[in-house]
Amino acid sequence: MSHVAIVTGAGFGIGAAIARRLVAGGVTVLGTDLQVGDDTPGALAVAADLSDPDAPAELFERAYAELGPVDILVNNASGWVQDTFTPATTDRFGRPMQPVTVETFQRQFAVDTMAPALLIGEFARRHIDRGAAWGRIVGLTSGGPLGFPQEVSYGAAKAAQDNYTMSAASELADHGVTANMVHPPVTDTGWVTDEVRTAVGRVGTPDGVAEVVAWLASDAGSLVSGNVIVLR
C-alpha cells in the first residue's frame, strides 16, 4: 500500500531528513516550510506559514489534489525563539536570548501548538470521513515536564503539543491511527560547536532521528502509540 505524508519544517535539518527518509521508503511526501529548497528531493515542496490558521486545511487540500489522501502526518516545524524570565541576554553558549513577551509567546505557540493541533484535527476529520483504518501521527518535541530553562516558551509550546498528540492517540485509536512524540537529543543541524559537544556529550544527527520517525510511521510501529520517545 502506498502512503502519503505531510512533513512540516521540511526545508532543512531534521524535517528535511525525515522527508528524504520517507521518500526513500516509498512514501509520497508533501514537505512544507516557510521557504523550501532542494533539501527534500522527491517530495512535493510547498511554502507555507504555519502561523496562519488557514494553512493546515490548505496543505491537506494541496496534498489531496496532487498526491492523494494523507495517512501520515509529521509535525516537525517550530517557530523557535529563545526567551527567558531572567535579565540574561545570552545563554551559556553565547546565543542571544530575549525576555518573555506577547510576541515570543505568540510566535512560539502559533507554530508549535496551534498548527499541530489544527493539522491533527484536519488529519482526523478526513481520515474518519473516508473510513480509513491506517494512520500515523508523529511530532517532534523538546524540553520536558520540568520546564526548559532559557527556552521557556519553546518548552511550554512543545509540552502543549505533547498533550494534543497523546489525546489524538487515545481518541483515534479505534480508527487505526497511532500518535507519538519523538524527543531527539541535541542534534547537529549546523549550529553545534565543539563547545556544545563538550558540554552535552552525545550529539545526534538528523538522519538518526529520521530513522526513528520513519519506523513509527511504518507498519512496524503499529503497536507503539501514546508515547513520548526520548532518544539519547
Which CATH number belongs to the domain containing residue 185 in this structure?
3.40.50.720
Q: What is the pLDDT of residue 185?
A: 85
Which single residue is written with the C-alpha cell 522527508?
19
Into how many domains does the chain fold?
Answer: 1
Comparing CA positions, the residue from 182, 200, 179 lying closest to residue 191 is: 200
Q: Where are the beta strands (DSSP E) in 11-70?
A: 28-33, 44-47
Can you give the residue range of the structural domain that contains 119? Answer: 4-230
Q: What is the pLDDT of residue 187?
A: 75
Based on the residue annotation, tell me whether 164 is a catalytic residue of this protein: no
- Rounded to 5 degrees, φ, ψ at 182 are -110, 130
In angstroms and rounded to an integer, the radius of gyration of the C-alpha atoms of the chain is 17
- Coil/strand/helix, residue 138: strand
Q: Low-confidence residues of the chain, pLDDT below 70?
A: 188, 190-192, 199-201
The answer to whether 141 and 135 are in contact (CB under 8 A) is: no
Q: What is the pLDDT of residue 68?
A: 98
In whole angstroms, what is the distance from residue 134 CA to residue 148 CA?
34
Q: Which residues contact 230 (CB under 8 A, 6 or more apart)?
A: 183
Q: What is the pLDDT of residue 190?
A: 64
* Active-site option among 60, 109, 123, 154: 154
Q: What is the pLDDT of residue 149?
A: 95
